[in-house]
Every structure is written in C-alpha cells, then in structure tokens.
Amino acid sequence: MSNKNTSKSKAILLKGFGFLTVLIILMAGAWFFMTFDNQGRIARILKEQSEMRAIFAMRDAALQRTIILHRMALLDDEFERDEEYMKLKEKAEAFIKARGQFLGFESDNKDSKALKIWGQVSTDINKATIAQSQVTELILDDEIPKANELLLNEAIPIQRQVMKQLTKLLEIQREKTEAEVNGIYKQSTFGLIFVSIITLWAVFWGIGVSRATIRRISDTEKSLDEARLRAQEADQQKSRFLANMSHEIRTPLTAIIGYSETLIEDKKTLSDWKKYVSSIVRNGKHLHQLINDILDLSKIEANQLSIETIPVSICELMSEIETLMGERARKKGLDFSLDCQFPIPKVINSDPTRLKQILINLCGNAIKFTAEGRIEVRIKFDPEQENISFTIKDTGIGMTREQMAELFKPFKQADTSTTRKFGGTGLGLYISKQLAERLGGKLELSSQAGIGSTFTVCVATNLKEEPQWITSAPEAEEISRQAQSEIIIPTLEGRILLAEDNPDNQALISMHIKKTGAEIDIVENGQQAIDAALNKHYDLILMDMQMPVMGGIEAIGIIRENGCQTPIATLTANAMKEDIQASQQAGADDFMTKPIDRKTFYSVLVHHLAPGIDLTPQTKRQASNSELDDISDLVEMYIKQLPETCYRIQQFVKAKEWEEVKDEIHQLKGTGGAFGFPDITEQCIDIEKHLLTRQYAEAEQLINDLETSCNDIIKNHRNPQHIKII
C-alpha cells in the first residue's frame, strides 16, 4: 500500500513538475524571442539616431556656410575676410564628413522615399557647392556686387532647397524611430500579458497538484507508521541480538578467565592442566567463531565481503568436513555419513574458505539441534545448471512454517526458546545464505517440526573447460587419502641459494633442503644474494622479500638486469595480491608464503630442480626418525630464543620505536607457523595490521597477549623458561 501511494504521489508530482517545466520553457522561449527582437529594434533605433545626427550636421554646416558667405560679402578688411574664408572651409569639411557618415550607413535600412529624397539632395548639394565656390571667388576678387547678385539669385535658393530636403529626411528618420519605439512597447506589453497568463496557469496547476498530493498524505502517513513499526521491530531484534550476543561472549570469556585464574593460583597435575587448557581452547574457539560471525555480518551489510575464485578439490573439501564435523557428531552419539551421487568434477572453481564456512555452519547447526539419530550429507552435480549441491539432512527438532519464514533474517532464530536452550547468535544461517548467493548459488530449506530439517546449498562450479571426473567412491577415497597422506620428501640434486635474514628460518629451510640431497648456500640480505647469484651457478634461488640492507624485490630486479636467468622463488610472510604481483613484475618465477607449507615447498623444488621427475610414491621417501629428531631440535632452539625475542619487542615498544617493532613482528610471523605454532603467526598478523594503521595502543595490548602465548609455549615444553619482561 505504501509503495502504491508513493508511486501515485510521485506520478502526480512528476506530471506537475513536467507541466511547470513546459511552462517555464515557453516563458523562456517567449522572453528570448522578445529580447532578441527588441535588441534588433534598439540597434535600428540607434542607427537611425546616428543618421539623424549626420543629417543635422549637414544641415547645420550648409546653413553656416551661407551665413559666412554673407559676412564675407559685407567685410572690407581683407584679413577679416580671409579669416571668414577659413571658417567657410571648415564648415565645408564638416559638411563633407557628415555626408560621409550618412552615406556610410547601410542602404538596406533606408526606404525608397528616403533614397529618392537623398538623390535630389545630392544633386542640389552639387549645385550649391558650385554656386558657393563662384560666390567665394568673386568676393576674394573684390567683386562684391556680382557676388551678392549670385548669392541672392542662385546660391541661397539652392541652399534653401537643400535645407528643405534635409528636413524631409529628418522627418522620415523620426517617423521610423517612433515606429520602432512603438513596436518595442507593444511587444513588451504582449510579453507581460503572456507571462502573466502562464504564471496564473502555473499557479492553478500547482494548486491542483498540491491538492492531489495532500489527498494522499494520510495514506503516506499510514505507510510511514507501518515503516516506523517495522523499524522499531528491527531495532528490538537488534537489541535482543545484542543482549544475546553479550551473553554469548560473556559465557566463553567467563570460562576462559576462570580456568586461567585456576591455572595461575595453584599447582595442578598434568591431567588437570590438560583439562583446563582444553576448556580454554574450546571456549576460545567458540568466542573466535562469534567474532567471525559479527565481522562477516558487518562486511555483508557494508557490501565489502570479498570472494575469490580458485580451484577447489571436492574430495579434499569433503574430507575436511568429515574430519571436523564427523568427529563432533560422533562425540554426541550421532551417525554422520557422506553420500555422493557420481560422477562429480574433481575440481571446481569457487572460494574454498567461504564454501567450507557454509558447510561447517550447516553441519554444525544440524548437530546442535539433533539430540539423537543421524546427519547425512549428500553431494550432487547438475550438468545442466553447472552447479554442485550439498544437502545436509538431520533428524533434529525441525521447524514450523512460521519459524522457517524468520530463519534467514539477521539477528533471528526460530524462537527465543531456541536461543535459551541451544545458544547461538542467529547470524549463521543469514551469513550462509548471503555467502551462497555470492558464490553464484542459493540456500534452501525444508523442515517439519519434530521430524528434522534439510538444508540444500547450491554453488556455481565456474567450469571453463571439460573437467576431470570422479566416477566412484573408491576413487574419491583414494584422492582423500592422498590429500591426508604424510609429507613425502623427494630426492633431488642441485645447488640452491637461500637469501633469508632470520636464523630460525635459515635453519628450518636448510634442513628441508638438505633432506632432498640438494646443496644450499645461505646469505642474509639482498646485496649478498646479488653477489652470490652473479658469481656462482645456482639451480634455484629462494629470496625473502623483506631483508636488511636490500630487500628481495630490489635484488631480483638487479639480478635480472645483469642477465642472470636462474629461477627465483620469493618467500614472504605477506600473502597479499600486491606482493605476488610485485614479485612477478620484478622477475620472480614462483611465490611461497611463510610459514612454509612443506608440500608446496617440495613441489617448487621439484619443479625447478627436476622438472621431468615422476612424483609417484616410488620416487619419494618418508622422513626418518633421525630427521624428525632434527625438527624437534630446531623447535627446541626456536622456543629457547622466544624469551630474547619477546624482550627485544617489549624494549622497542617502550622506546616507541615502532618500525623496529614491525620488523621483529614480521620475523616472528614467518617463523611461528613453520615451527608448529600457528597461533603465534595469527597473532603477529593481527599486530602487524594495527602497526600498519598506526593503532599503536591496540598493538601494544596485542603484543602483551603475544607474550602470554609465548609463555604458554615455553611452559608446555621440556625446557621451560618463563618469559619475564623487564
């Protein structure tokens, strides 16, 4: 109803606006026409006035010449006569000048009558000029009687005729000027009347539009009231959400703080430690998920949720889902099964992180709301629609139609009793639906109260060419098994140059390379890497991007400029697209992120050192016990260095030397995950973000949290050493 009234009101206003616009255009056009025409009339009036001034000047000069001739005839003094003669010549020049001005105006503006009169004037002027010249010569020759006779009988009559004709010309010009002035007056009067009529018309039309709009004000007010009620309801929903969210956040925080205080207060047995730490980890993960949901919601509402499209292995994805959610379901006493309708593509193009987020959310909800029974996950590929669907079916509490209608709204759950009994923020399904749509698909639901629910999420596969197909369960299981297999180390030959300034990373990467049988040289900065690469043969260069003296990007550029074509793979703790593009533009052949993923690392080594090798299980070997001991020794060394590292960071923080802090954090970020402590890497990433945006107070608090994490790592290993910051 509100939209209908709004549309009608808009239509009326648009019509009124359109009509008024037409009226304004008409008035503007009329005003422009009148102004343009009046300007032409005024220009003609000014020209006619100029012609009249020229005629006046000619008539005055002719009259003055006659008077001067009379005076010359009466004067006896030759000097006075000469003086009058000079005046006579001046008036002759004035007459000629005025005549030239008159003749200079366009003849188009002169009517036939004026032209006829001017023709007669021209003839008389010529006669008068001749007669006056003869009179002047007689006077100068002192023949005064003859001069007077010629003056009275010929010169003066002709001059009178000229004066008469010029007067007629003046009258014609005056009539034309009056006609133009009257035209301007009439046109202005007409314009005023026209504008007045249009103005009155506009006023009446405006009154009509106003009345029509007012008639709908009551309907609009009703619509506004309804919208206000909906807004209030939404506000109440958000208030309930915030109240529920505060409870959801406080609950795990209470557990984390409580168990942490218990660990600090008393000496505990190892079993107690494990129990308390497990509870802290469990509640920490729950709190982490809550925060992720809130961040995703804010990104969705701000339309800033980024989606990437990369190859995704369906079997590896479902293997992860089975590992994560199957274990959770079985702990609750539920059956958890995966069923695939073959064939399915081996790889699709989508966002693996967001797709896994949707599936974990849906499976998690199914487990949460199912007390007994089973959870089934079915996968099916639709070749016509080119999408793949994941159906999650449970035997849980189910929902009514009314509850389903509210389910995909933010801040909502099926009902408030659901929140009290099962907890949760009410964001998961809303976020999942938004993610599914951004992945080119949709999320659908069917449910019956007391029987169970079925969620089906479809996403686009974005297949650009004929894919490889998985046609049977054994084939899918083999792919999953390979994805979960142990790290296999290839046997290689060749020499590798490692440019890395961090001793821990040097030791770890060196160990991985030596296991393959390849040789390695180590340098600590970009300048040393240039010197080594240009003076010694290497089969591969591993280049850290951020080093002292000279960074990796600059070093790669110089190496390439000097003609060295050795393959180069960059190493960095920054996995941003800009870093990848920068390394490629500099001339790098590969890009690896820290912490090092050993599968990726060995794949890069094989690609450049032995491109023809067949990487089958027969050509690989598993790590021996002695090699595993080497890793343990490196981890032990890494842990021993943590106190000194944390001490340096805190000293730099106290001195407000934030660039030094950033360098230390960057180094720690690249080594944490590599030695089996991914939490350190994650914390360093968060700290680095705050340092880059100059949020130093927040970064300092996060550094304190990082110190606590380092303390926990040291206390839980065989050579404990508590980090005490001075």
Top-ranked range on mean pLDDT: pick from 15-29, 537-551, 567-581: 537-551
Instruction: Give φ, ψ of 385 to 5 degrees.
Output: -85, -10
Name the class of domain 2-215: mainly alpha
Q: For residue 585, how many other CB atoms are within 10 A of its CB? A: 11
Return the CA Rg of the chain: 51
Is it the case that residue 452 has pLDDT exceeding 90?
A: yes
Instruction: Give φ, ψ of 400 to 5 degrees.
Output: -85, 170
Mean pLDDT of all residues in 428-446: 90
Is it the case that residue 628 has pLDDT exceeding 60?
A: no
Is it the case that residue 187 has pLDDT exceeding 90?
A: no
Task: Give the residue among 452, 442, 441 at the shortest CA–CA distance from 366.
Answer: 452
Look at residue 371 and give its three-state secondary structure. Answer: coil
Architecture of domain 310-481: 2-Layer Sandwich (3.30)
Is it the case that residue 387 has pLDDT exceeding 90?
A: yes
Mean pLDDT (the chain) is: 78
pLDDT of residue 336: 93
Mean pLDDT of all residues in 379-400: 93
pLDDT of residue 247: 56
* 18-23 CB contacts, 8 Å cutoff, 24+ apart: 19/205, 20/202, 20/205, 20/206, 23/198, 23/201, 23/202, 23/205
Is it the case that residue 393 has pLDDT exceeding 90?
A: yes
Look at residue 384 and give its three-state secondary structure. Answer: coil
Query: 351: which 2 tokens?
Result: 């966002």
Is it the case that residue 118 has pLDDT exceeding 80?
A: no
- For residues 359 and 336, give the distance between their C-alpha atoms in angstroms, rounded to a whole number: 14
State pLDDT tens for residues 637-649: 778 888 888 888 9
Look at residue 200 and give its three-state secondary structure. Answer: helix
State pLDDT tens for residues 372-381: 999 999 999 9
pLDDT band at 719 (very low <50, low <70, confident <90, very high): very low
The CATH H-level (homologous superfamily) assignment of domain 629-715 is: HPT domain (1.20.120.160)
- For residues 302 and 675, give the distance between their C-alpha atoms in angstroms, rounded to a whole number: 38
**Which residue's structure tokens are 């449910």?**
447
CATH 1.20.120.1730 segments of the chain: 2-215
Q: What contacts 422, CB < 8 A, 6 or more positions away? A: 368, 369
CATH 3.30.565.10 segments of the chain: 310-481
- For residues 513 and 5, give the distance between their C-alpha atoms in angstroms, rounded to a whole number: 74
pLDDT band at 414 (very low <50, low <70, confident <90, very high): very low
pLDDT of residue 668: 82
The dihedral of CA 291, 293, 295, 301: what is its sign? negative
- For residues 703 and 699, give the distance between their C-alpha atoms in angstroms, rounded to a whole number: 6
pLDDT of residue 712: 80
State pLDDT tens for residues 570-593: 988 765 667 778 888 889 998 887
Distance of CA 317 to the CA centre of its chain: 33
Instruction: Give φ, ψ of 621 to 5 degrees.
Output: -140, 150
pLDDT of residue 537: 92
Task: Give the residue among 541, 529, 601, 593 at the shortest CA–CA distance from 565.
Answer: 541
- For residues 107 and 116, give the distance between their C-alpha atoms in angstroms, rounded to a whole number: 12
Please, is 620 exposed, middle or buried when counting C-beta atoms within 10 Å of its C-beta (0-12, 13-18, 19+)? middle
Fold of 218-301: Helix Hairpins (1.10.287)
Please, is 412 exposed, middle or buried when counting C-beta atoms within 10 Å of its C-beta (0-12, 13-18, 19+)? buried
**Which residue's structure tokens are 């009234």?**
5
State pLDDT tens for residues 250-300: 667 776 777 677 777 656 666 667 667 767 776 777 677 677 777 777 777
CATH 1.10.287.130 segments of the chain: 218-301
Q: What contacts 319, CB < 8 A, 6 or more positions away? A: 480, 483, 484
The CATH H-level (homologous superfamily) assignment of domain 488-620 is: Response regulator (3.40.50.2300)
Query: 214: which 2 tokens?
Result: 């007012």
DSSP for residue 442: E
Q: Which of 41-45, 326-330, 384-388 has the lowest mean pLDDT?
A: 41-45
* 413-416 CB contacts, 8 Å cutoff, 24+ apart: 416/240
Pair 462, 474: CB distance under 8 Å: no
Mean pLDDT of all residues in 198-210: 74
pLDDT of residue 7: 59
pLDDT of residue 554: 93
- For residues 336 and 378, give the distance between their C-alpha atoms in angstroms, rounded to a whole number: 11
Mean pLDDT of all residues in 20-27: 73
pLDDT of residue 506: 86
Q: Tell me the Ramachandran region of residue 301: left when phi exceeds 0, alpha when psi lies from -120 to 50, beta otherwise.
A: alpha
Is it the case that residue 680 has pLDDT exceeding 80?
A: yes
Please, is 63 exposed, middle or buried when counting C-beta atoms within 10 Å of its C-beta (0-12, 13-18, 19+)? middle
**Which residue's structure tokens are 């990369």?**
310
pLDDT of residue 37: 73
Is it the case that residue 499 has pLDDT exceeding 70?
A: yes
Is it the case that residue 98 has pLDDT exceeding 90?
A: no
Mean pLDDT of all residues in 299-322: 82
What is the reported pTM? Answer: 0.41
Helix intervals (H) in 1-77: 2-74
CATH 1.20.120.160 segments of the chain: 629-715
